[in-house]
Amino acid sequence: MSDRVCLVHYHEIGLKGKNRSTFENQLVSNLNRALRGYPVERISRISGHILVEVEGGEANDELAHAISRVPGVARVSVAYRCGLDEAEYSQAAVRALAEAGDFATFKVHARRSSTAYEKHTLEMNHIVGEVLCAAFPDKKVEMHHPDVTVIVHAVQGNAFVYTDTGPGVGGLPVGTAGKVVSLFSSGFDSPVATWMVGRRGAITVPVHFSGRPMTSDTSEWLAQDLVGALAPSGVVGRLYVVPFGERQREISLAVPQSLRVIMYRRVMFAVSQEIARAEGALALVTGESLGQVASQTLENIAAVDEIATMPVLRPLIGSDKQEIMRRAQEIGTYDISCQDAPDCCTLFMPRKPETHARIREVHEAWESFDHEAMIADLVENVEYLDFDQCPSYKPPRRLRARHRELAPAIEDNDRWRAFVRRTGEQDQD
């Protein structure tokens, strides 16, 4: 008797050496979190794979899709699991091929991860192929380019039989590559950059600079919704919000108009870096793409980077806008980022921003206002919201007390209550 399970395949993890089990265990932990809404009975490591078993033995495509969105997963197969009995796994192959849809040609590909099984893969191919030819006499065997391939995989006392394998996002399990702080807007670029670094195994901590009180808090809600859209990947543990509008006004009155954006970004980097130190993060992440806007020329990037004392990662630096938007569609952030919201990026913008900043003029503008006091005040008044996404995230010893609840003026409305239900966040103040 066979049941249906999800067989999770990985790629890069398999290239690891003695610490491979660390990566596998982290992936198991991340899958347990990601699949809490499904009737999962057990997630375990088997030879070269992760096995996901469900109550009733009926795994389905919906579960496989949820698994495929977790970083570290290369492919997912909904498979029949049966014993190492020829008749049993041959009949499972018949059922799997019958569910494959329309096809004219097929082949059998047998594998053994368990050398304790006495049958060679060539023998298994012959046994299963003979049964399938009898069951589907109108179909042809094609060894090179078949419409369907039936996989029969013998591993640890079981045979797993499947025909279809869905692609996963790949990468490494979140929690295996340290922690980073991401400068996080409500646009297209920074959520994609955050996801891309998370896909490489890093825990990401987004910092959103809001135009409040000079603008509404709409961008903060969009930032929260974007974090929610990233939930299946489990890359985010906490969202910080920095009310920046009043400080932007001060900067705009103190520095030459053309250098406003560079001063804004230098302050953002400095504040994010302080949060990163409190978090124990080792790098900053931005969504910058070379030459996309005035602040992203090489000269202006260098003028801002001067503030940083830790690495600044720019995973989108060589991407164009169309590539970024396609990736946003893939990860589920596109529709949210399409919504227009006033935020710090649109506040007190110069008519003619500098595109090739001279470092001497940047230094003069930087010294024209009390940037140290401003940075300290912004860090002191940072706000945050925790998300139960990332099992590896641990809150820092500093910045533990919530200074203000996000969007405090609307706690009583329906949208706030719906958000609380959606995230599981409860007000402890």
Residues tagged in the binding site annotation for ATP: 183-184, 208-209, 265, 287, 296
Nearest to 5 by CA among 153, 120, 134: 153
Kindly state the helix (H) or strand (E) to which residue 57 belongs, with its residue range: none
CA distance linking residue 202 with residue 196, whole number of Å: 9
Please give the single-letter amino acid code of residue 95.
Answer: R
- Phi first, then psi: what are they for 250, rounded to 5°? -60, -45
**Local structure of residue 175 (DSSP, 8 states):** T
Nearest to 10 by CA among 65, 67, 83: 67
Nearest to 107 by CA among 83, 84, 133: 133
Q: Is the peptide bond before 256 cis (omega within 30 degrees of 0)?
A: no
Answer for the pair 132, 174: CB distance below 8 angstroms, yes or no. no
Write out the binding residues: 183-184, 208-209, 265, 287, 296
- State the sign of the Cα–Cα–Cα–Cα dihedral 209, 211, 212, 213: positive
CA distance linking residue 203 with residue 176, whole number of Å: 8
The 10 Å Cβ neighbour count of residue 136 is 15
Burial bucket for residue 24 (CB in 10 Å: 0-12, 13-18, 19+): buried
Answer for the pair 43, 59: CB distance below 8 angstroms, yes or no. no
Structure tokens at 43: 């997630």
Helices (H), 139-279: 189-199, 218-229, 245-254, 260-279
Burial bucket for residue 410 (CB in 10 Å: 0-12, 13-18, 19+): middle
Nearest to 166 by CA among 62, 274, 81, 251: 62
Number of H helices, E strands in the chain: 14, 15
CA distance linking residue 182 with residue 72, whole number of Å: 21
Measured N-to-C along each axis, helices 121-135 and 86-98 cross at an angle, to the nearest 10 degrees, of: 50
Could you tell me whether strands 49-54 and 40-46 are parallel, antiparallel, or unpaired per DSSP bridges? antiparallel
